[in-house]
Amino acid sequence: MAVDTWSETETFLSGVLCPPDPDFARALDVSEQADLPVINVSALQGKQISMLARIAGARRILEVGSLGGYSALWLAKTLPPGGRMVTIENNPVHAVVAADNIKAAGLDDRVDVRVGNAAEQLAQLVEEKGEPFDFFFIDADQHNNVTYFESCLRLGRSGSVIVFDNVVRSGEVRNLETSNGAVRATQRVLELVSSSDRVDGVVFQTVGHRGHDGMLVIRMS
């Protein structure tokens, strides 16, 4: 009963707040044709992260986990003139789909799709010593969330915002006896956020078509 209500409410809110966009529709269609897993953010979640990026005034955005480029489109469309985005994808097939969808939307001039192991790619970005990123969206293999968090601290600045997706996992995050390595890594990130004076964070729980989950939103001090 609750899940039906969540799903119907998400459909309603998406219909009101997320106007149809041919770029988003194409990205989903192409991803489906390429048999990519249906694990992309929903339209409402895409609007949520894009709104957070706008509130942060993000000119430089870093995403870990491109999949088919759907969330990258939501974020890239928020960039002001001269803004840049890097999105990292480990799966070469997924990266090709993401790059194609980004190019079809006319955003390839501001989005750099990097292919390879995310931890290695992040280390390379640290080595490049470029401008700090203003906004991070982490939606990849959660076993490496601690590495991603530490990399974001190196690549960000005071005021940068870091968003981790899928941190609640139907409430499993509260299970301190869990054997799930992904959940344990997320729990460790929560501990690091709680104990650090460099950041502050909060979890926004979400419900919808895919059940109960949430995003961890962190601001660097």
DSSP 71-117: HHHHHHTTPPTT-EEEEEES-HHHHHHHHHHHHHTT-TTTEEEEES-
C-beta atoms surrounding 70 within 10 Å: 25
Ordered per-residue pLDDT tens for the chain, 221 residues: 588 999 999 999 999 999 999 999 999 999 999 999 999 999 999 999 999 999 999 999 999 999 999 999 999 999 999 999 999 999 999 999 999 999 999 999 999 999 999 999 999 999 999 999 999 999 999 999 999 999 999 999 999 999 999 999 999 999 999 999 999 999 999 999 999 999 999 999 999 998 999 999 999 99
Structure tokens given for 202: 């909060």
Q: Which residue's entry shows tokens 């979400």?
A: 206
How would you classify residue 111: left for phi > 0, otherwise alpha for psi between -120 and 50, otherwise beta? beta
Residue that has been written with the tokens 């192991």 in this structure? 117
Record the pTM: 0.97
Q: Taking the chain, what is the end-to-end CA distance rounded to the nearest angstrom?
A: 42
Q: How do residues 39-69 score in pLDDT, each as one tens digit?
A: 999 999 999 999 999 999 999 999 999 999 9
List pLDDT tens digits, range 128-159. Answer: 999 999 999 999 999 999 999 999 999 999 99
Residue 176 backbone dihedrals phi, psi, to 5 degrees:
-75, -10
- Tokens 């390429």, residue located: 34
Q: Which of 130, 121, 25 is nearest to 73 (CA)?
A: 25
Residue 59 to residue 42: CA distance in whole angstroms:
23
